[in-house]
Structure 1
Amino acid sequence: MTRVLVTGGSGFIGKHLVSALVARKRQVRVLDLRAPTHALPGVQSIAGSVLDPDLLDDALDGVDEVYHLAGLPGMWLPRKADFHAVNYRGTEVVMAAARRRGIARFLHCSTESILFHGSPSACAFADDTLLSADDMPGPYTRSKMLADQLALQAAASGFPVIVGCPTMPIGPDDHNLTPPTAMLRHFLGKRFQLYLDFVVNLVDVRDAAAGLILAMERGKAGHRYILGGQSIQLKRVLQLMAEISGCRGTPVPVPAPIAKGAAAMMELIADHVTHRPPSGTAEGVRIALRARALSIEKAQRELGYAPRPVEPALRETIACLLGAGESRPQQSLSASPHSRPLHPDRRYGV
């Protein structure tokens, strides 16, 4: 029986990944700061941080494969250096420990936001095309790009690392209200829906989890696979939400310059006055303005990845939101894979 460690296994994608691995008869161990909301029989849970090398060494005992999903999502933290510490340094610590243990396969879960080029005419079709860390729009994406580069450098040196890039996961059981679900909740039932229109790529969270397993099983070391669903304008998402929920608001598009200014002001107030997450950040708006349609052709061709239509998952998400009340989002080292109206900074993490 293959023995697997999933870092960040209590997060949204993580718990669906764990369920899928158990269904495939894998022996699963989870490392996360939080305990899973619903413990599965036979799954071992270890509470702790990916920044603890001694704990990691113990967690890797007897393990064959590692799925590294742990990371800090979102676009704002009181200490911006925490993005680098967790997303980059955490990946470095996990990968170093895995190499010492001689792990057979390592899957690094990255993010779509590092693939978007600054040029408005560029499309994020090239799975293996990387920008530099300096080209990233802010500290979150910079930390994720550095982690991605670290993973590919390890693969180039002979360590069997594959990179999976889920897009914006939606679906059932998002109890911690990850960024894509938070975006949908923000708009749900609003009379006036202020939004910055951009391309989003929504994917059923179960397909994202299945795609990570396919990447582990069939992916080529040193290659990146975009695990997305349907690329769609945010305006169309709002229309679908109204049709599904019966809650019809009035969408009000916001010009990019106003979105930029509003987000910068909200972030400034959060940094120096409230010290609480703002509704928007400059980095989030920059990502939205860069966003382009994503191609999953490589994952389809090489992995057999076949995501289902996104509308059923959107229906499930809305049904959960309408029945769940006011769940509040939480941040942890285990969040995973995005956006809101003026502030698409609540984008995926890993």
Structure 2
Amino acid sequence: MTRVLVTGGTGFIGQHLVSALATGGRQVRVLDLRAPICAAPEVEYVQGSVLDPGSVTEALADVGEVYHLAGLPGMWLPQKADFDAVNRHGTEVVIMAARKKGVSRFLHCSTESILFRPSPLRGGPGDHSLLPPEEMPGLYTRSKMLAERFATQAAASGFPLVIGTPTMPIGPHDHNLTPPTAMLQHFLHARLQLYLDFVVNLVDVRDVATGLILAMERGQIGQRYILGGESIPLKKILQLTAMISGRRSLSIAVPGRLAEISAKMLELISDHVTHRPPTGTAEGVRIAMRATDLSIDKARRELGYAPRPVEPTLRDTIAYLLGSREHHKPRS
């Protein structure tokens, strides 16, 4: 049986993907800088960076398929150049090494944050494309866009690569709080909720893992498959969060421009004072202001992708966040 390599396999999506692959009887090797929180005995873990061609080449030994998930998912970093280094250059290193190795299939995990309509007057829900780098909302999206462009070019030149594009995954065991989970945690504990109302496409992380496997097995070379769930206004997400958690707060919608200015101020404080991630970023606001509905019809039709309703997953995520917070309370 072909061994599978998962880069970034200890991350939020990665751990669920690795679990699904191992449960399905696959031989799995993980390449990641971080050790797993809970190592599965049947999975081989290799600590290493996708920026190190030697580590990547060694991890590819006896590997036939590669799931490339390694990347920086947040939109704020102390060192801004890390976005381009890891998300773009790291992808190039892994793809070039996998091509040289001659793997039979390669899955590049991208993000819906880089998909925008060229014009609000053109196309339907499925008409989303990659805009030029200079039109991306910020450094994170620019790095992810360049990574996907490189992947697409590799596929066009004959490399057996498909692209899986998760929307906003949520669910239990998000130990490092990816942006969607961090957003929910913030709104769970904020008594005053200032929010920008936009279309949010939430998806269960376990469905994303299943979708990535389906894309690897059934996807057409060079094609992108959006792995999402339900598209819901953020206002409704806040209402569901309050209903599920039993926590009440005052929610006030703010204009996009005001949200962007506020986020810039938060980033300045993070950059020069706290050196900790802000509760919002200007890039995140720009993405939200341009957000539109994303169609998963292609993934349903060609892959058999069938995500579950979002409300049960929201309940699981909130239970995990509240339970995790209680677990980490200092004891008196």
Instruction: Work out whether the TM-score is over 0.5.
Output: yes
User: 1:2 and 2:34 equivalent?
Assistant: no
Q: Note the alpha carbon deviations across 1:30-65, whole angstroms, 9 max, x for none.
A: 001111111112100001110111111110000010
| Residue number in structure 2 paired with 1:332 | none
Matching residue of 1:110: 110
Q: Is 1:261 the equivalent of 2:261?
A: yes
Give deviations 1:71-112, integer Å, cap 9, x for gaps.
011111122211111000000000011011001000000000
What's the RMSD between the two structures over aligned residues? 1.7
**Which whole-Å CA distance do the structure 2 matches of 1:327 and 1:140 have between them?**
32
Tell whether the 8 Å contact from 2:116 to 2:129 is kept in structure 1 after alignment.
no
Which is worse superposed, 137-146 or 37-46? 37-46
The residue that corresponds to 1:333 in the other structure is: none
Paired amino acid for 1:82:
D
Aligned amino acid, residue 86 of structure 1 = V
- The residue that corresponds to 2:86 in the other structure is 86
Q: Tell whether the 8 Å contact from 1:107 to 1:161 is kept in structure 2 after alignment.
A: yes
The equivalent of 1:338 in structure 2 is none
Give 1:118 shift.
Answer: 6.6
Q: Deviations over 1:250-298 (max 9, x none)?
A: 2111111211111122223333444332222221110010111110000
| Secondary structure, counterpart of 1:58 in structure 2 | helix
Assess, with a 3 A threshold, how the Cα gap between structure 1 residues 8 and 129 changes in structure 2: closer, same or farther.
Answer: same
User: What is the identity, as a one-letter code, of the residue corresponding to 1:252?
Assistant: I
TM-score (norm: length of structure 2):
0.95
Amino acid at match of 1:61: A
User: For residues 196-345 of structure 1, what are the structure 2 equivalents within 5 Å?
Assistant: 196-325=196-325
In the alignment, which residue of structure 2 is the partner of 1:147?
A: 147
How far the C-alpha of 1:121 sits from its partner, in A, is 5.4
Over 3 Å counting, the alpha-carbon distance change for 1:294 and 1:274 in structure 2 is same
CA distance in 1, matches of 2:56, 2:327: 31
What's the CA shift string for 1:172-196, capped at 9, x where partnerless? 1112222111111101143221111
Q: How much does 1:327 deviate?
A: 8.7
Secondary structure at the counterpart of residue 188 of structure 1: helix
Aligned to 1:18: 18
- The residue number in structure 2 matching 1:342 is none
SS in 1 for 2:45: strand
Trace 1:188-203 onto structure 2 (pairs within 5 A): 188-203=188-203
Amino acid at match of 2:73: P
* Aligned partner of residue 165 in structure 2, secondary structure: strand
Q: Which structure 2 residues correspond to residues 94-133 of structure 1 after superposition, within 5 A?
A: 94-117=94-117, 119=119, 125-126=125-126, 129-133=129-133
- Higher RCO structure, 1 or 2 (CA under 8 Å, sep 6+): 1
Name the SS of the counterpart of 1:64 in structure 2. strand
Read off the aligned partner of 2:14 and give its amino acid letter.
G
In the alignment, structure 1 residue 62 sits paired with structure 2 residue 62: yes
- Cα contact 1:17–1:206 (8 A) shared by 2: yes
CA 1:124–1:189: 2 relative to 1, 3 Å: farther
Q: 1:127 to 1:298 in 2, by over 3 A?
A: farther
Which residue identity is paired with 1:5? L
Percent identical pairs in the alignment equals 70
* Aligned partners of 1:66 and 1:105 also within 8 Å: yes
**Normalising by structure 1, what TM-score?**
0.90
Larger mean CA deviation between 119-128 and 187-196 belongs to 119-128
CA contact (8 A) 2:53 2:97 kept: yes
| Cα distance in structure 2, aligned partners of 1:20 and 1:92 | 26
Could you list the runs of 4 or more consecutive aligned residues of structure 1 that deviate by over 4 angstroms after TM superposition? 118-124
- Once residues 169 and 278 of structure 1 are traced to their aligned partners in structure 2, the CA distance between those partners, rounded to angstroms, is 20
Give SS of 1:14's match. Answer: helix
Q: Distance in 2 between matches of 1:269 and 1:120?
A: 34
Q: 1:64 to 1:128 in 2, by over 3 A?
A: farther
Change (3 A) 1:42 1:139: same
Contact residue 53 and residue 93 of structure 2 kept, 8 A = yes
For structure 1, list consecutive stretches of 5 or more residues without a partner in the other structure.
Answer: 329-350
- The CA distance in 2 between the partners of 1:82 and 1:327, in whole Å, is 32
Distance 2:237 2:120 in 1: 22
Alpha-carbon distance in 1 for matches of 2:248, 2:78 = 36
| Contact kept in structure 1, 2:186 and 2:279, CA below 8 Å | no
